[in-house]
Amino acid sequence: MSDEGYEMQYIQEAFDTNWIAPLGKNVDEFESELADKVGSKAAAALSSGTAAIHMALKAAGVGKGDLVFCPTLTFSATANPIIYQNAIPVFIDSDYETWNMSPEALEKAFEKYSPKAVIVVHLYGLSADMDRIIQICNKHSVPLIEDAAESLGTYYKEKHTGTFGDYGVFSFNGNKIITTSGGGMLVSDNEERIAKVRFWATQSRDPARHYQHSELGFNYRMSNIVAGIGRGQLKVLDQRVKKKKYIFEFYKRELGGLDGVEFMPINEWNEPNYWLSCMTLSGKVKPLDIMEALEIENVESRPIWKPMHMQPFFEKYDYIGGDVAEKLFESGICLPSDTKMNDEDLGRIVEIVKGLWR
Ligand SMILES: *Cc1c(COP(=O)(O)O)cnc(C)c1O
């Protein structure tokens, strides 16, 4: 069956069984299929990855005035839910070995603060240095939330990212490795907490015949139609990872030798999903030169995420570390990584990029 073939079957099933409105079989099945895929005990299907981070923070007991450690080099959706909970982010630098949270900077942050939770992110499908980060969190008995929104299909030492912490978050937004057009998943081995998240996410409706609420509620549940798309997409995840890896290796082979080019780090303990192929530039060609040259040919590329401590909204919060995240932001570029590209498309991109060195 084609890449897009399974989704319609599950959506049709939802229509046939009159389960169009929220919840139903696809939601239950998508939860258990994703939990099986990553090796987690339980999962809650939610309306977005952002909602899943919000629910993870709430489940971890983060509330008003609490501190949460968060990587500075990430998408703002990692940090926004900290503010939703009226908590206070402290941003942590990255390291060059992983591009993710620096264990050294994390240790330094613990010398200064006692946070209620730590969020770690696996950027671009690269895994953070989990052994060291878990060791630090355990030493301080602080719950760990993994933002694995970009790393579905990524393994650290043969275990799936998102399953190391107390909570793991996945996203199925339009730009992610698999997509439901919009959606997210919270996973955990704590089934009781996941049940609680499902309750909060459906308006905290008490089990009574009338509409009764003893807690603040949220409308964060995934619909049965969206979950049908997710079930179909999950079937093509491995295929997508293979193609993403092919794209990365193509670029690395063709561009890796250019002066000043360094590709994102692939550590021996990490089997990434290669969501985006990224590299840094230290020579005379700058990321903007590549972005502009590609744009002329109608090809989209992107800069690395702009660190949170450099964002107008977040710069008032404390930041622990040096200039690694800043340097990655200034020198980094994400090359076009769409799995629909063929060798001809890739060859064309490579020629445009190489042209800047001539
Ligand atoms: C996409 C993304 C999110 C948010 O997921 P949504 O489903 O878009 O809400 C969170 N964190 C990171 C790192 C992401 O890339």
HSE-CB for 325 with a 13 A CA cutoff = 26
pLDDT for the residue 7: 85
pLDDT for the residue 213: 94
SS3 270: strand
| Token reading at 134 | 């878990």
Tell me the pLDDT tens digit for each residue of 140-171: 999 999 999 999 999 999 999 999 999 999 99
Q: Is the CB of 120 under 6 A from ligand 1?
A: no
Q: Is the CB of 173 under 6 A from ligand 1?
A: yes
Q: Tell me what the mean pLDDT of segment 51-65 comes to.
A: 98
Distance 76 CA to ligand 1 centre (A): 8
| Domain layout of the chain by residue ranges | 6-234, 237-355
- With bands split at pLDDT 50, 70 and 90, how would you rate the model's confidence at 18? low
Q: Is the CB of 150 under 6 A from ligand 1?
A: yes
Q: Is the CB of 331 under 6 A from ligand 1?
A: no
Gap between the Cα atoms of 91 and 318, Å rounded:
6
Q: Which atom of ligand 1 is nearest to the CA of 176?
A: 1
- With bands split at pLDDT 50, 70 and 90, how would you rate the model's confidence at 16? confident
Q: Which atom of ligand 1 is nearest to the CA of 123?
A: 13
Residue type at 223?
A: S
**Residue 75 contacts residue 302 (beta carbons within 8 Å):** no
CA dihedral over 87, 119, 304, 262, signed as positive or negative:
positive
Q: Which atom of ligand 1 is nearest to the CA of 53?
A: 10
Return the CATH number of the domain spanning residue range 237-355: 3.90.1150.10
pLDDT for the residue 17: 74
**Residue 50 contacts residue 77 (beta carbons within 8 Å):** yes
* Pairing mode of beta strands 261-263, 277-281: antiparallel
Q: Does domain 6-234 have CATH number 3.40.50.720?
A: no
Q: Tell me what the mean pLDDT of segment 260-280 comes to.
A: 98
Q: Residues 6 or more apart from 221 whose CB is under 8 A from it?
A: 22, 23, 27, 45, 46, 47, 198, 201, 202
Q: Which atom of ligand 1 is nearest to the CA of 147?
A: 11
| Token reading at 167 | 């909570």
Strand partners, 320: 92
Q: Is the CB of 74 under 6 A from ligand 1?
A: yes
Q: Is the CB of 121 under 6 A from ligand 1?
A: yes
Q: What is the pTM of this model?
A: 0.96
Taking alpha carbons only, the member of 49, 223, 269, 226 closest to residue 150 is 49
Q: Do domains 6-234 and 237-355 have the same CATH topology?
A: no
Q: Is the CB of 184 under 6 A from ligand 1?
A: yes
Distance 208 CA to ligand 1 centre (A): 35
- Which residue bears the tokens 């303990």? 269
Q: Is the CB of 308 under 6 A from ligand 1?
A: no
Q: Is the CB of 77 under 6 A from ligand 1?
A: yes
Strand partners, 280: 262, 332
Is the pLDDT confidence value at 2 over 50? no
Is the pLDDT confidence value at 1 over 50? no
